[in-house]
């Protein structure tokens, strides 16, 4: 995996091995300090469907009462967010 930051752009590049891990329900997590954004935690997940990814987020404890998940693609709509 590569991580880069320039101006207002933060970039993450995933290798084939990374994507295989993500699809095996093994999220990638790292501190924002690694890309110059202290105080944040980044979590990258992957899954067959948005529903599966939501379940994975809940399983790893990444969903709290203030988490807003953009799940409009899972619901087949063009807008909307839901609380964790």
Provide the number of structural domains found in the chain.
Answer: 1
**Structural domain containing residue 74:** 2-83
Contacts of 81 (CB under 8 A, 6+ apart): 68, 69, 70, 71, 72
pLDDT per position as a tens digit, 43-69: 999 988 888 888 888 888 888 888 888
Token readout for 77 is 């709509």
pLDDT per position as a tens digit, 7-25: 999 999 999 999 999 999 8
Query: CA angle 25-31-35, nearest 5°?
Result: 115
Record the pTM.
0.71
């Amino acid at each position: 995996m590569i991580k880069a930051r320039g101006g207002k752009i933060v970039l993450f590049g995933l290798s084939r091995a990374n994507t295989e891990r993500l699809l095996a329900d093994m999220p990638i997590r790292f501190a924002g300090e690694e890309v110059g954004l202290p105080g944040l935690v980044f979590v990258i997940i992957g899954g067959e469907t948005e529903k599966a990814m939501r379940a994975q987020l809940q399983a790893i404890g990444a969903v709290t009462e203030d988490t807003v998940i953009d799940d409009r693609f899972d619901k087949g709509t063009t807008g909307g967010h839901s609380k964790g």
